[in-house]
Amino acid sequence: MARMSTLYEIIYENVRVGELYEKLDRNWVRCFACGHCCKIPDGQPGVCKVRHNRGGTLYVPWGYVGGIQCDPIEKKPFFHAHPGALAYSFGMLGCDLHCGYCQNWVTSQTLRDPAAAAGPMRVTPAELVLDALRQRGRVIVSTYNEPLITSEWAMAVFKEARATGLVTGFVSNGNGTPQVLEYVRPWVDLYKVDLKSFDDRHYRQLGGRLQPILDSIRQLHEMGFWLEIVTLVIPGFNDSDDELTRLAEFLAGVSLDIPWHVTAFHKDYKMTDPENTSAETLIRAGEIGNKAGLRYVYAGNLPGLVGDLENTRCPNCKALLIERFGYLILGYHLTSNGCCPSCGSSIPGKWASAFQGQITANPFAPRTRPHSDLLVLNS
């Protein structure tokens, strides 16, 4: 078993030449992998800390993962894509934002926060896909860090994955560019965007801007990705009626068929001041989504406390189509071609021809540990 040395060395040695950048004068480069579009001088990294300019060439992360886990696809959350499937989830390291409440900060804030010290595992795309199949994954998802900033690696994995019939997905903050979305389009089936706020000042606190994310959401929908949106509702940060209404109306303006998940915040990482989100607040957010005309609004992270907001109903006749408790599917009633059995309305999504049951015996925990052949620990 080989030893990888320091985190810095792992990130700066396990690289290859990037595909999402242009060369500029005086050995500068401009990266297109996320909405920051960093202009990077020789010898420096971009804002994400993991893509760096060496001698006028942009080097990007390659050949490792920062974490692997098998999750129910409902946890990503995707509610209109292969319900019950196991989503084999992997991530690398680093992020282009620095959200104070990040639940994956150990991998996302590597090299930015000294306390973030994930142990990477060296792996090839083929080994990763084999591990996904061994663990009975039907979907493979790039998540845990921001997948856009490691798009070259994710595409190498997804090309292998597609050859075996796996469905592919990104769980992303949506801070994209037209170039990166064009780059990933041929290989990504499902795309979840975490729309964190509808206030540019709030986005700047998190290290981003609102506009590139709104532009990306529009573009993702136009390009035909299967798109779902999640908003973590944080008391005092983004839970005002006004902000939630503007956000929901923006989504409704893109498409009434985009599922919108409003999920409950709990104290995490550096954000420990706001109270945890109550069920009443989520139900209020759900009502705002419905009032904006969105047909599929879901409330997450408080199983059993948010009434019908965990279920999918036919927007036409209100028949119960998928009944859930948290990530657990209690009832599935769509027809084999994804229609309401009661009135025949077509329900948007990526449905299998038949519900194959939920693969995990316990959908709240990974079924098995990652295959040990993949593990190469850092010191």
Residue type, 199: D
Question: Which CB sits closer to ligand SF4, 91 or 363?
Answer: 91
Among 15, 79, 93, 96, binds ligand SF4 (CB under 6 A): 96
* Residue 31 in contact with ligand SF4, rule: CB under 6 A: yes
Is residue 48 close enough to count as binding ligand SF4 by CB under 6 A?
yes
Does residue 181 belong to the site contacting ligand SF4 (CB under 6 A)? no
Q: Which of 167, 162, 156 is nearest to 191 (CA)?
A: 167
The distance of closest approach from Cβ of residue 96 to ligand SF4 in the complex, given in angstroms and rounded to an integer, is 4
Q: Which is nearer to ligand SF4, 51 or 76 (CB)?
A: 51
Tell me the site size for ligand SF4, rule CB under 6 A. 12
Which member of 7, 10, 11, 38 binds ligand SF4 (CB under 6 A)?
38
State yes or no: residue 34 binds ligand SF4 (CB under 6 A): yes
Nearer CB in complex with ligand SF4: 48/322: 48
Among 149, 220, 232, 233, binds ligand SF4 (CB under 6 A): 149
Q: Cβ of residue 213: shortest distance to ligand SF4, in angstroms?
A: 13
Does residue 196 interact with ligand SF4 by CB under 6 A?
Answer: no
- The angle at the Cα of 35, spanning 32 to 38, to the nearest 5 degrees, equals 55
Of the candidate spans 44-52, 75-83, 129-137, 191-199, the one that interacts with ligand SF4 by CB under 6 A turns out to be 44-52
Q: Is 212 in the site for ligand SF4 (CB under 6 A)?
A: no
Task: By CB under 6 A, tell whether 99 contacts ligand SF4.
Answer: no
Q: Which residue, among 102, 99, 32, 108, has the nearest Cα to 67 in the 3D structure?
A: 108
Query: Which residue's CB comes closest to ligand SF4?
Result: 46
Question: What type of residue is 376?
Answer: V
- Interacting residue with ligand SF4 among 11, 36, 75, 105 (CB under 6 A): 36
Comparing CB distances to ligand SF4, the nearer of 20 and 314 is 20
Least distance from ligand SF4 to the Cβ atom of residue 288, Å: 32
Q: Which residues are CB-neighbours of 297 under 8 A, at least 6 positions away?
A: 259, 260, 262, 286, 289, 290, 309
Indicate whether 264 belongs to the interface with ligand SF4 (CB under 6 A): no
Binding to ligand SF4 by residue 128, rule CB under 6 A? Answer: no
Q: How far is the CB of 148 from ligand SF4 (least distance, A)?
A: 7
Name the one range near ligand SF4 by CB under 6 A: 31-39, 153-161, 195-203, 221-229: 31-39
166 lies in the site for ligand SF4, by CB under 6 A: no
Instruction: Give the interface with ligand SF4 as residue ranges (CB under 6 A).
Output: 31, 33-34, 36-38, 46-48, 51, 96, 149
